[in-house]
């Protein structure tokens, strides 16, 4: 097995870390709208920072996996949705982390943060759905 193929096969293991961190981050951001505290801000910053870093790794291993595995023609559309929603989740996670870091510079960033966090958490969940459909099929439920 080639090294890049091996790295791609780590995707099913790696993906659970950013999935958990980013969905929890979305919940913490929602809680910050109810009552913002320094602890919640630090928690959100930590969850989205590490979630974004691991999401980059998960996306990279996913692209490697797709490049080294054969995909049936009827799964191509599902793979494309999975792939690009994953990229959107990575970008969203980075943007939430940045808005969290820079929010004191601009009040507008405060208003952007929650919608970005909800978008990111939703993109992560949708990405997981399409990834599951690739493995288990669309009729799993």
Query: Sign of torsion, CA 82 88 89 90?
Result: positive
Architecture category of domain 3-136 in CATH: Up-down Bundle (1.20)
Q: Mean pLDDT of residues grouped by 10 in the chain (141 residues)?
A: 92 95 96 94 95 98 92 89 97 94 79 92 96 87 70
DSSP 41-66: HHHHHHHHHHHHHHHHHHHHHHHHHH
CA distance 93 to 124: 10
CA distance 87 to 127: 9
Tokens of 25: 């981050």
Q: pTM value?
A: 0.90
So what's the pLDDT on residue 102? Answer: 85
First-to-last alpha carbon distance for the chain, in angstroms, is 34
Domain ranges of the chain: 3-136
So what's the pLDDT on residue 49? Answer: 96
């Amino acid at each position: 097995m080639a090294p890049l193929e091996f790295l791609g096969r780590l995707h099913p293991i790696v993906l659970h870390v950013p999935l958990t961190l980013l969905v929890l981050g979305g919940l913490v951001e929602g809680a910050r709208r109810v009552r913002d505290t320094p602890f919640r801000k630090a928690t959100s910053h930590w969850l989205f920072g590490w979630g974004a870093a691991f999401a980059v790794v998960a996306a990279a291993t996913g692209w490697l996996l797709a490049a080294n595995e054969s995909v049936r023609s009827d799964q191509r559309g599902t793979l494309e949705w999975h792939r690009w929603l994953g990229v959107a989740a990575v970008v969203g996670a980075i943007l939430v982390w940045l808005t969290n870091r820079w929010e004191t510079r601009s009040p507008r960033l405060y208003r952007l943060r929650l919608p970005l966090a909800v978008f990111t958490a939703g993109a992560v969940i949708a990405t997981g759905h399409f990834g599951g459909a690739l493995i288990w099929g669309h009729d799993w439920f």
